[in-house]
Chains A and B, each alone.
Chain A
Amino acid sequence: MSDTWTNRLSEYLDGELPESERATLEAHLRACADCRATLEQLRRVVARAQALDDTPPTTDLWPAIARHVGVVSLDARRARRRLSFTVPQLAAAAVALTLLSAGSAWLLLRRPAGARPSQSTTTPSPILTNVGTYEANPRYAAAVASLERVLAQGRSRLDTATVRVIEKNLGIIDRAIRDAQSALAADPANSYLNLHLAQEMRRKLELLRQAAALAGART
């Protein structure tokens, strides 16, 4: 999926390519199916970002967890929403954005905590960040651990059948995550596998949140 134009697709999406380069890229796109496919994937990332909903979740548990694990504020997230990244950054953003389910004010950009978010950057990233590493991301891991703790604390309030179902389905998702990670290890730049892994990680977080909300609701 990589050629001389791959890293210019983000600028193209943002309408920031000079007219001459734009025309050249469009000619290249007509001939290069890989670039077209990559462009489609990037458009999906942008579309998902734009479709993100800031509505807070129904449970009150998440804001406390979000604060605890150091997620960014809604305002900061809005400020970062304009996507003007390189392809690797967009792949990373895809993970971050799919982890951003409704109300979870969380953007896993590779930036030290507390660093001022820039409105827009087209500076190429020196590192192609593989989403396979994201499960080891401290904030993702912390969010999962926090939700698991909440669930463990509220477990006795849930029906045992519900607990079994939640554990079974978390197991199914974990297996999917492992499958995707194994596949990515062999093909780290594959955008489908990156997005698939991101989707399953987002799904795990969502199910944990749903379960934690159920446990909290039964107090």
Chain B
Amino acid sequence: MLTTLATLAGLALAQQTDTTVPVRAGARLEVNNFGGEIAIKTWSKSAVRVTASHSSRDRITVDASEQVVRVKSEGRRGPSQVVDYEITVPAAMALALSGVYTDITVDGSQGEITAETVQGTVKVSGGVGNVSLKSVQGDVTLEKARGRIDLSSVNETIKASQISGDVSAETVNGDISLVQVESSNAEATTVNGDVLYDGTIKDGGRYRFSTHDGDLRVSVPEKSNVSVSVSTFDGDFNACFPVQLTGKTKHRFSFTIGSGNARLELESFNGDIRLCRPGQLAKDKDRDQHKNHDQDHDQDQEEE
């Protein structure tokens, strides 16, 4: 992703900036980095420490007010080149991070997070409240967050685990994996990829998972109360447990588990839909991966 820029700028990454500014509770951090890395860590101090590796031709500015700490870089002749930031913030500080050729990582946040990049990955551990992570050409990975979670990519995968709250995940060309999720409102949609949901089905909850070219695997815990609607144009449905199908038409059917007061909508135009108990889906996936590995291995042997 950053190969070209990194090659060009590798020799120029000669300067270190290290600045610490005090911050008040409730202040927000804003970082915009055209290319490079933004790595956020947390500490217990009421201060923000910014360390940056950058070209000697670039200047890093840290502009701190009561509400906002803004970090940016400027080149002597226009935009800066590659800057690698490592920034340490109070855990509860809200973060607004953006870039173009930028990888973004956050570790240990207990605040709101907005992270957007074009060619780069977004990897976050933590986050409370609104957590919005977006990339066009990079994986989006989230763990240990809670709140209103919005995950978006275009050409890569989305993975989230150990998260709770309202969850929305969308990509075009990639898989979506949501595991160890505690949510009463979850939605995941892709065009060309699989969707895996292994999490709670809460009474009164709403769950919607869809793909065009891919499979859906969704866990339904025992003793769930959920009305399930299944729609597929050219795929199969199966469940690891007995279900009584009703309203079966060519492309759609439904069934109810328990009192049925949660709603689960499953849609795959060309793929298969599978329901299992929590934990079984991971075993399925392991088995599939093992099977694929064996097939690859067999193929390799044939080619030899």
Q: Are B191 and A203 in contact (CB under 8 A)?
A: yes
Q: Is B78 an interface residue (CB 8 A)?
A: no
**One of A40, A159, A200 near B263 (C-beta < 8 A):** A40
Q: Are B119 and A159 in contact (CB under 8 A)?
A: yes
Give the chain B neighbours of A168 by CB distance below 8 A.
155, 173
Q: Are B155 and A165 in contact (CB under 8 A)?
A: yes
Q: Are A176 and B136 in contact (CB under 8 A)?
A: no
Q: Are B254 and A33 in contact (CB under 8 A)?
A: yes
Interface residues of B in 243-294 (CB under 8 A from A): 246-254, 263, 265, 267, 269-270
CA distance A208 to B254 in the complex (A): 35
Q: Are B154 and A34 in contact (CB under 8 A)?
A: no
CA distance A192 to B250 in the complex (A): 11
Q: Are A173 and B254 in contact (CB under 8 A)?
A: no
Q: With A33-B247, A34-B249, A179-B269 as known contacts, state yes or no: A172 contacts B192, CB within 8 Å.
A: yes
Q: Are A169 and B213 in contact (CB under 8 A)?
A: no
Q: Is B229 an interface residue (CB 8 A)?
A: yes
**One of B192, B229, B233 near A183 (C-beta < 8 A):** B233
The tally of residues in B whose CB lies under 8 Å from a CB in A reads 34
**One of A36, A44, A173, A176 near B269 (C-beta < 8 A):** A176
User: How far apart are B283's CB and chain A's nearest CB, in angstroms?
Assistant: 30
Q: Is A66 an interface residue (CB 8 A)?
A: no
**One of A34, A159, A172, A192 near B173 (C-beta < 8 A):** A172
Give the chain A neighbours of B254 by CB distance below 8 A.
33, 36-37, 40
Give the chain A neighbours of B263 by CB distance below 8 A.
40
Q: Are B267 and A173 in contact (CB under 8 A)?
A: no
Q: Which residue of A lies closest to B101 (CB)?
A: A159
Q: Is B124 an interface residue (CB 8 A)?
A: no
Q: Is A193 an interface residue (CB 8 A)?
A: yes
**One of B189, B191, B192, B252 near A37 (C-beta < 8 A):** B252
Give the chain B neighbours of A199 by CB distance below 8 A.
189, 210
Q: What are 14 A-B residue pairs whose CB atoms fall within 8 Å in the complex? A: A33-B253, A36-B247, A165-B136, A165-B155, A166-B136, A173-B191, A176-B269, A192-B252, A196-B210, A199-B189, A200-B212, A207-B154, A210-B136, A214-B136
Residues in chain B within 8 A of chain A (CB atoms): 100-101, 118-119, 136-137, 154-155, 172-173, 189, 191-192, 210, 212-213, 227, 229, 231, 233, 246-254, 263, 265, 267, 269-270
Residues in chain A within 8 A of chain B (CB atoms): 1, 32-34, 36-37, 40, 44, 159, 161-162, 165-166, 168-169, 172-173, 176, 179-180, 183, 187, 190, 192-193, 196, 199-200, 203, 207, 210, 214, 218
Q: Identify 17 new A-B residue pairs, CB closer than 8 A, beyond the known A33-B246, A172-B172.
A: A32-B247, A33-B247, A40-B229, A161-B119, A165-B136, A165-B154, A169-B172, A169-B173, A176-B212, A183-B233, A183-B269, A190-B251, A196-B269, A199-B189, A200-B212, A203-B172, A214-B118
